[in-house]
Amino acid sequence: GQNIDQPTEMTATEGAIVQINCTYQTSGFNGLFWYQQHAGEAPTFLSYNVLDGLEEKGRFSSFLSRSKGYSYLLLKELQMKDSASYLCAVRSLRGRRALTFGSGTRLQVQP
């Protein structure tokens, strides 16, 4: 089976940097995804890591360490609109493209 852990809630200040961690256990790892979900809306794709290292995309970066079963999402220059839930999801070789999601981290950005 698969197990994904991430913090339930985080609070940060506008303009700051926040790091959301995710640890996972899975057999046959085949990629880690981060999705953003605003309240009442669909999850939207943010980033994808399949190899170790950092992937940067504008204000958002995602890091993966396969040996440690660990990833983080880094959000820079926080804006109020970044207040949302951030979902960590893992794809396994057995999963045939389906993703297993963590429970999500609800981020609140304060002025």
Segment contacting another protein by CB under 8 A, of 14-22, 40-48, 58-66, 67-75? 40-48
Q: Applying CB under 8 A, which of residues 7, 29, 31, 83 lies at the interface with another protein? A: 31
- Smallest distance from the beta carbon of 107 to another protein, in angstroms? 14
Binding to another protein by residue 102, rule CB under 8 A? yes
Choose the stretch contacting another protein; rule: CB under 8 A; options: 15-23, 42-50, 62-70, 75-83. Answer: 42-50
Cα–Cα–Cα angle for 2, 70, 76, nearest 5°?
125
Stretch that binds another protein, among 10-18, 44-52, 59-67, 68-76 (CB under 8 A): 44-52
Residue 42's identity, in one-letter code, is A
Write out 30-94 in H/E/C secondary structure.
EEEEEEEECCCCCCEEEEEECCCEEEEECCEEEEEECCCCEEEEEECCCCHHHCEEEEEEEEEHH
Nearer to another protein, 13 or 103 (CB): 103
- Cβ-based nearer residue to another protein, 81 or 96: 96
**Residue-level length of the chain:** 111
